[in-house]
Amino acid sequence: MGNSSKDDSATSGDASAGDVQPANSSLYSEGERVLAYHGPRIYEAKVQKTEIRKKEWRYFVHYLGWNKNWDEWVGEDRLMKHTEENVQKQQALDKKQSIDKNVKSGRSNQAKAKSSMDAKVDKEDIKNNVPKGKKRKTDSGAEKGSVTVEKLVKIQIPATLKKQLVDDWEYVTQQDKLVKLPRSPTVDEILTKFLEYKTKKDGMGADSIGEILKGIRCYFDKSLPTMLLYKRERKQYSEVVANDVSPSTIYGAEHLLRLFVKLPELLVYVNIEEETMTRLQQKLLDFLKYKLKPASFCSYSR
């Protein structure tokens, strides 16, 4: 969203002389509280500016509860009136992924205890749960009918990386751009370099880090084709990942970051004590801050 507000942030005074006011009046007014689509989710927002661009109404919205860096220009097709009926639609949309997942995987899968980070990811459990690179108030923790917010692992993604997620979504889904593959460094190389760094710094204490990184690699390889790719990236995946090739040896930081958004949903099925989970959260955050910096991400191409 950060890019969209810059790329499309011309004021009404900058509109071209050819922009003719449409016959219909604006559906939304400045200061109005609305519901706005971003990806497949709906968020509460406030209209800050309205203008006509290319004979269509455009609205500059601020997402309530979010930093102004998320503000963006949107069309009428992205907005809905803030009514009780539409709020119910918002809640139903949030619930849909959870219901689909439970129908496909069954409740029995949720009861299976898994002893380590490198436990197998149940592909049926995560099928059709593709992320959109969008912001979410609770990182999908508010989904009803699946797991409670309290049970989710909280992974604090730094603000710069949240912006990268949104830019990533816009490049792929809105601008038809793709990451050039194979990437350098690959996910495997990023994880290896971090392990070398921690081993040199912490010595024997890096053993636990090695197990965690092994688990991350396992989760990435198994979940990439089923929940980390956008629709427009699937053809590319089928072309570059063949036979027994591991995605972690081809993809890079962009797709690895998407995994961290989905990890809370995956780790909820892992049987880990609270104290161990707390240490795990800190180590995952250390990895994000040390290895997934803005410079780690590539430019996109058509």
User: How far apart, in whole angstroms, are the C-alpha atoms of residue 62 and residue 49?
Assistant: 10
- Which is more confident, 123 or 45? 45
Q: Given a cut of 50, is residue 99 above it in pLDDT?
A: yes
What is d(CA 143, CA 170) in angstroms, rounded to the nearest whole number? 24
Report pLDDT for 15.
42
Q: Which residues pair with 50 in a beta bridge?
A: 59
Alpha helices (runs of H) in the chain, residue ranges in sequence order? 2-7, 84-105, 107-110, 123-126, 159-169, 187-202, 207-223, 234-240, 253-267, 274-291
| Beta carbons within 10 angstroms of residue 242's beta carbon | 7
Which of the listed CATH numbers 3.40.50.1970, 2.60.40.10, 1.10.3720.10, 1.10.274.30 matches domain 107-296?
A: 1.10.274.30
Q: Are 28 and 59 in contact (CB under 8 A)?
A: yes
> What share of the chain has pLDDT > 70, as a percent?
67
- 110-121 mean pLDDT: 40
Domain ranges (residues) in the chain: 2-82, 107-296
Instruction: Return the H-helix or E-strand segment holding 43.
Output: strand 41-53
Residue of 194, 210, 197 whose CA lies nearest to 253: 194
pLDDT score at 65: 79
Distance CA 198, CA 253 (A): 19
- Determine the pLDDT at residue 4: 43
How many Cβ atoms sit within 10 Å of the Cβ of residue 160?
12
Residue-wise pLDDT for 179-238, tens only, equals 999 999 999 999 998 888 888 877 655 667 888 888 899 999 999 998 999 999 999 999
Q: Which CATH number fits domain 2-82: 1.20.1090.10, 2.30.30.140, 1.20.120.1200, 3.10.450.50?
A: 2.30.30.140
State the pLDDT confidence band at 159, using cuts at 50, 70 and 90: confident
User: What pLDDT digit, counting tens, does each position of 13-30 carry?
Assistant: 344 434 444 546 778 999
Asked whether residue 138 carries a pLDDT value surpassing 60, the answer given is no
pLDDT exceeds cutoff 80 at 132? no
Same fold, 2-82 and 107-296: no
User: What one-letter code names the amino acid at 235?
Assistant: K
What is the rounded CA–CA span in Å between residue 244 and residue 111? 31
C-alpha distances in Å from residue 2, one per residue of 69, 140, 170, 222, 278: 6, 21, 10, 31, 32
Instruction: Calculate Rg over the CA atoms of the chain.
Output: 21
pTM beyond 0.85, yes or no: no
Report whether 88 contacts 42 (CB < 8 A): no
How far apart, in whole angstroms, are the C-alpha atoms of residue 153 and residue 210? 20
